[in-house]
Amino acid sequence: MSAHATLAIAARVLRQLRRDPRTVALLIGVPTVLVVLLHEVFAGREDVFQRVGGPLLGIFPFISMFLVSSITMLRERVSGTLERLMSMPLAKLDLLVGYAIAFAALAAAQAVVVSVVALGPLGLEVERPVAVVALAVGNAVLGMSLGLFVSAFARTEFQAVQFMPAFVFPQLLLCGLLVPRDEMAAWLEAISWLLPLTYAYDALERATAVAPLDARFWVDVAVVACVTVAALGAGAATLRRRTT
């Protein structure tokens, strides 16, 4: 890997995003609107908002970055841009890590804006706001790495979008956000242990709780980091010097 090449790729992606202000506005504005709607939906049940609001601050970046990165990389593949980039003296990981840096910067902006709104006007109270924002950025990079990987299996943007209900929604249902995992059927709980969002949500839940962070929190963080690296490696394996 080359630090210069990696940073050049990250700068290129950020320039592309700057020329697409609608996408940037949607990525930052939509999660903020969703948090406001969530607050209003549970206006008479403040305890529910306090329970799920903190973890959702970290889950929204995962969802948005998965979708954006999968579509963006698909466009690079089908437009020939990826082939032109790979014809340069550029390592595969330079390309993917460059994307990771760019999307992590966007995710950081998204997480900060959403957190300021939730923790300020909406009155969300979490025990460790800095940790929640940091986990939100980490989850965004996780979503980005998974999105880059699954983009190899799509041929059109419509197919890329279909990975949301096929790949992301089951993880949302089984991570423990809606129903505690120990109250699920045994086979569903067993499946949940295989899904990275389970560990991301568990880390967020522990970070927002009053209890001190224990070893399980750091195990969750380590699993998320390992899956992110593995997905980037798998994504690099799907990159080819010539597209078909």
Strands (E), the chain: none
pTM score, whole prediction: 0.83
> What pLDDT does 89 receive?
63
With a CB cutoff of 8 Å and minimum separation 6, the contacts of 238 are 149, 152
What angle (nearest 5°) sits at the alpha carbon of residue 99, between those of residues 95 and 100?
A: 115
Residue given tokens 């899956």 in the structure block:
227
pLDDT-derived band at 209 (thresholds 50, 70, 90) equals confident
Summarize the confidence of residues 58-80 as an average pLDDT: 78
pLDDT tens across 91-135, in order?
Answer: 667 777 787 788 778 877 887 888 888 888 888 887 788 888 888
Residue 217 has pLDDT above 90, yes or no: yes
Most confident among 143-152, 166-175, 205-214 (mean pLDDT): 166-175
Residue 15 has pLDDT above 80, yes or no: yes
Q: How far is CA 114 from CA 4, 31, 94, 131, 238, in A?
A: 32, 7, 30, 14, 34
> What pLDDT does 188 receive?
93
Summarize the confidence of residues 46-63 as an average pLDDT: 81
For residue 160, is it left (φ>0), alpha (ψ between -120 and 50) or beta?
alpha
> What pLDDT does 244 receive?
46
Summarize the confidence of residues 207-225 as an average pLDDT: 89
pLDDT-derived band at 219 (thresholds 50, 70, 90) equals very high
- What sections of 42-91 are H helices per DSSP? 46-79, 81-86
Residue ranges of domains in the chain? 3-238
Rounded Cα distance, 124 and 199, in Å: 22
Backbone angles phi, psi at 212, to 5 degrees: -65, 150
Residue 226 has pLDDT above 80, yes or no: yes
If residue 138 lies in a helix (H) or strand (E), which one and from where to where?
helix 129-150
Nearest residue to 148 (alpha-carbon basis) of 220, 39, 228, 40: 228
